[in-house]
């Protein structure tokens, strides 16, 4: 995943979270059981000191770091995160419920190497509350998308998607839960695909 990847070395993944961290766990599980081959989690970084995902990451034996966003300008905050990722020689970054939009400082440092997961079939329903957007629009289906992160809001190139059928009885909670189940399958698959593509050059 580095510009000149050494296929014999495990790819080093950095995961950014702000909250629950269930996608972080899904990726960590997939690394551990070989569904994401030849990779390791270098660090889990949270911009929130009280993120529940931090506790889970520690339970999994992963290295964690808190880089709090509170009161800090985005570029300055991102500079510190970039430095932490570079210090650990991270090749690929997975945003997993990371709730701050990245500045150009971050994008320029890791262009083409930052992935995000979003709970809708992008380009439909970008931004906040995509499950509510889908229900409000009376959509028949929604789902989840893993995409590369660029300057646009949830608009970077799509890597993989999964469809979830919307039921008449669905609430935001029930739809979110069914989409989340699919997210936990899709994100590891997409990470494995990107790492494999990059190894092939
Ligand atoms: C997920 O629905 C993800 O798609 C969105 O934020 C949520 C994060 O959940 N970006 P978790 O922290 O991974 O449990």
Atom 6 in ligand 1: residue holding the nearest Cα: 97
Quote the pTM value.
0.96
Local mean pLDDT, 10-residue blocks, the chain (201 residues): 65 98 98 98 98 98 97 96 98 97 97 98 98 98 98 97 98 98 98 96 76
- The pLDDT, as a whole number, for residue 6 is 64
- The pLDDT, as a whole number, for residue 3 is 46
Is 118 a residue of the active site? yes
First and final C-alpha spacing in the chain: 9
**Nearest alpha-carbon partner for 25 in 154, 17, 107:** 17
For a ligand 1 pocket test, name from 22, 24, 95, 184 the mutation site with the most ligand atoms within 8 angstroms of its C-beta.
22
């Amino acid at each position: 995943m580095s510009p000149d990847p050494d296929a014999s070395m495990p790819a080093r993944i950095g995961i950014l979270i702000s909250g629950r961290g269930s996608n972080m766990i899904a990726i960590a599980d997939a690394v551990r059981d070989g569904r994401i081959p030849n990779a390791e989690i270098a660090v889990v970084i949270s911009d929130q000191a009280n993120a529940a995902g931090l506790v889970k990451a520690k339970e999994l034996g992963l290295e964690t770091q808190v880089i709090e966003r509170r009161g800090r300008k985005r570029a300055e905050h991102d500079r510190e995160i970039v430095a932490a990722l570079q210090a650990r020689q991270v090749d690929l970054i997975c945003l997993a419920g990371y709730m701050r939009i990245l500045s150009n400082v971050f994008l320029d440092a890791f262009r083409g190497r930052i992935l995000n997961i979003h709970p809708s079939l992008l380009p439909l329903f970008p931004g906040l509350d995509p499950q509510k957007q889908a229900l409000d629009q009376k959509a028949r289906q929604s789902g989840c998308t893993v995409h590369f992160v660029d300057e646009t809001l949830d608009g970077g190139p799509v890597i993989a998607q999964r469809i979830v059928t919307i039921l008449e009885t669905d609430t935001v909670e029930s739809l979110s839960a069914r989409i989340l189940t699919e997210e936990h399958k899709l994100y590891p698959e997409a990470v494995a695909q990107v790492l494999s593509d990059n190894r092939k050059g």
